[in-house]
Amino acid sequence: MARSPITCHVLDSSLGKPAEGIHISLQHLAPEGESFTPLATGVTNADGRCLDLLPPRNGNLTAGTYKIMFKTKEYFVNTDRKCFYPWVEITFDIENPAEHYHIPLLISPYSYTTYRGS
């Protein structure tokens, strides 16, 4: 199955379940290094995944710095909880655009953790 070259997965560690309905924005750092340009938006599915941010084998993906913004406050409000972090931004470098980049996020109302997935 073809997939986006950049994917993500959000798990709500306080509930031990996938985080469905989190709005995501993917951005790329401009060459001058001063601002980010929006590339794509998405929403996590019932499994907490967003697998379709970019078309498979997107020829526009280049080496450089990217970030994904997860709008966590909306998710916690929708699940009747308060949170400390209204959004989480994960900034990462892509060295080889031919590789797949998976960005997992573990969230709870007062903490988050991330790592490079596979």
115 among the known binding-site residues? yes
3 among the known binding-site residues? no
β partners of residue 18: 11
49 among the known binding-site residues? yes
Task: Please state whether beta strands 23-29 and 36-43 pair in parallel, antiparallel, or not at all (unpaired).
Answer: antiparallel
Q: Which residues of 70-95 are buried (b: 16+ CB within 10 A; e: fewer)?
A: bebbebbeebeeebebeebebeeebe
Q: Specify the 3-state DSSP secondary structure of 72.
A: helix
The amino acid that residue 117 corresponds to is G
Task: Please state whether beta strands 6-12 and 101-108 pair in parallel, antiparallel, or not at all (unpaired).
Answer: parallel
Feature table: binding site: 9, 49, 115
Cite the annotated binding site for substrate by residue number: 9, 49, 115
